[in-house]
Amino acid sequence: MIESLNILDNAIILLYFLVVLAIGLYFSKREKQTAEDYFLANRNMGWLIIGFSIFATNISSEHLVGLASSGAERGIAVGHFEWLAIIFIIMLGWIFAPIFLKSQVNTIPELIGRKFGNSARKIFSGLSIFTYIFTKIAITLLAGSILLKEILGWNFVTSVIIMLLFTGIYTVIGGLRSVMYTQIFQAVLFLLGGFFVLFFGLDAVGGLNSLIENVPIGHWEVFKPISDPDFPWLGILIGAPILAAWYWLADQYIVQRILSARNLTEAKKGTILAASLKMLPFFLFILPGMLAIQLNKTVAANEAYASLFNSNIFPIGVKGIIISGFFAALMSSLASAFNSTATLIVYDFIKGDNPETNDEQLVLIGRLSTIFIVIGSIMFIPLLKLFSNGMYVNLQSIQAYISPPIVVIFLMGLFWKRATSEAVIWTLIIGEVFGFLRLSFDFITINNNSLGFLSSFLTINYLYFAGILFSFSMLLFAAVSYVTANEGTKVARRKEIVINTSNLNN
């Protein structure tokens, strides 16, 4: 029982948890649980489930906290990331889904590994696992704990235990099938809650016209100046597509939904649905952040979304639906991250090295992996608290430092015939070293701005940095491919000469 809520609101929240567990456990028992069923839902998902699952996987606590925070501080310019996503979701379904489904791979690193070898596959997969723990699971827990503290007064430990306990039960037991079916219910619920927040928020400030007139004029600027610290228009043009390409095209976290599709037609229709739903965050998260600063001009950025709830503008019963929507957003993304990370561990590190491992063993390893992933994620959270202010922008900046080398090896590896395994490996290693250096310096310089010659490196906007790192990684990839391809040609020619000489001697 949550003491700050009445009986009806508490009953709605309790009902939410019971329904989620019931759906997850029911669909976990529908078929015999083979490895393919546990990790890829037996490759039998239809478009409705795929579309809602992609959307629910994407929307999480960092959207509720982060988009509202950016909306409160900077206005609608943060919407660029959401609008750009629509284009890349369509690309996922109509350009890349045919490649993924035809290959019948279990993971994206496996697709890279088929062409460039097991070492490239493991490096790619290991890097993906790290980024999931760092940028998805841990930051979802952090943002969720901030939200639940402001709304319900729960401390960090209580918030994390609640989120992990209920999410982990059906994820560990049921696998991807349970995750995707629960996400339909969760997506509908947090959309409903979001519409209630927008409706009652607008009503509280006197309508849309009042919001337009009273919010600072700069909040309605779609394109910020080229020197803007968060959303420079040139940076959006250069860097944002790189981040989107990694997240929507090359990330197991999202692509696993496509891999579960019954066929290509269902995959394409699913991405159309997901792209349509992706139009809604602007209205459900960014505008509420702007409503929050109109209702309370002194509210802190990360408290913007929660402050709407605490402003007592919602009637009894609606509060329960909105809070259930919060939990739905948190749990849907956590469940996806758990399952996707376990899938990478099982297929790229266990099955890849031990093809004889049977389905029962793979499912067991997947479940155990999920438990260890949860523990590992919690360990990162104290570090992420340094980035708690301006969370959505900081999340994008972390991804900007990590994603460019991955995008290069993914795109050039798939579409450039001269690409070599050496180029994949060295581009990932060297490119990520530069990215992690910048990420590390960001942590260091939060309270230290006196690093001399490094200041120029550290002050480059994250979107510009993504473009620079992408260009560097692409040049490195091309150079290494050219050198190693020529070396391979020379070796082949030497072998041919030896063979020919041997034939002459005979």
pLDDT (tens digit, 9 = 90+) per residue, 197-208?
A: 999 999 998 998
Residue 390, pLDDT > 60, answer no
> How large is the average pLDDT for residues 120-145?
85
Using pLDDT thresholds of 50, 70 and 90, give the confidence band for residue 266: very high
Closest of 217, 138, 204, 135 to residue 400, by C-alpha? 135
10, 2 Cβ separation under 8 angstroms: yes
Architecture of domain 7-24+37-402 in CATH? Up-down Bundle (1.20)
Using pLDDT thresholds of 50, 70 and 90, give the confidence band for residue 394: confident
By the 10 Å C-beta count (0-12 exposed, 13-18 middle, 19+ buried), 359 is classed as middle
Residue 504, pLDDT > 50, answer no
Please tell me the predicted confidence (pLDDT) of residue 382.
66
Please tell me the predicted confidence (pLDDT) of residue 102.
95
> How large is the average pLDDT for residues 312-316?
88
Give the list of residues 6+ apart from residue 183 with CB closer than 8 angstroms, or none.
49, 52, 53, 56, 57, 332, 335, 336
Please tell me the predicted confidence (pLDDT) of residue 125.
95
Q: Which residue has the higher pLDDT, 1 or 364?
A: 364
457 vs 178: CA distance, rounded Å: 45
176, 253 Cβ separation under 8 angstroms: no
Please say whether the dihedral angle defined by the alpha carbons of residues 333, 465, 244 and 120, taken in this order, is positive or negative: negative
Closest of 114, 120, 238 to residue 481, by C-alpha? 120
Please tell me the predicted confidence (pLDDT) of residue 156.
73
Mean pLDDT, the chain, as a whole number?
85
Please tell me the predicted confidence (pLDDT) of residue 493.
45
Using pLDDT thresholds of 50, 70 and 90, give the confidence band for residue 40: very high
Please tell me the predicted confidence (pLDDT) of residue 389.
52
Here the tokens at position 247 are 């997240």
Please tell me the predicted confidence (pLDDT) of residue 348.
94
Please tell me the predicted confidence (pLDDT) of residue 496.
46
> How large is the average pLDDT for residues 317-322?
90
Q: What is the pLDDT of residues 471-485, one digit of tens each?
A: 999 999 999 999 998
Residue 492, pLDDT > 60, answer no
Residue 267, pLDDT > 90, answer yes
Residue 5, pLDDT > 70, answer yes
Please tell me the predicted confidence (pLDDT) of residue 482.
92
Please tell me the predicted confidence (pLDDT) of residue 455.
66
Q: Which residue has the higher pLDDT, 139 or 100?
A: 100
Return the minimum-mean-pLDDT range out of 219-228, 401-410, 452-461: 452-461
Using pLDDT thresholds of 50, 70 and 90, give the confidence band for residue 192: very high
Please tell me the predicted confidence (pLDDT) of residue 499.
42
Please tell me the predicted confidence (pLDDT) of residue 30.
62
> How large is the average pLDDT for residues 310-334?
88
> How large is the average pLDDT for residues 223-247?
93
Residue 319, pLDDT > 70, answer yes
Residue 442, pLDDT > 90, answer no
Q: What is the pLDDT of residues 274-302, one digit of tens each?
A: 999 999 999 998 999 899 888 887 777 67
How much of the chain exceeds pLDDT 90, in percent? 48
Please tell me the predicted confidence (pLDDT) of residue 146.
77
Concatenate the DSSP letters of all residues of 135-166 into one string.
IIIHHHHHHHHHHHHHHH---HHHHHHHHHHH
Most confidently predicted of 89-98, 291-300, 383-392: 89-98
Residue 418, pLDDT > 70, answer yes
Please tell me the predicted confidence (pLDDT) of residue 454.
64
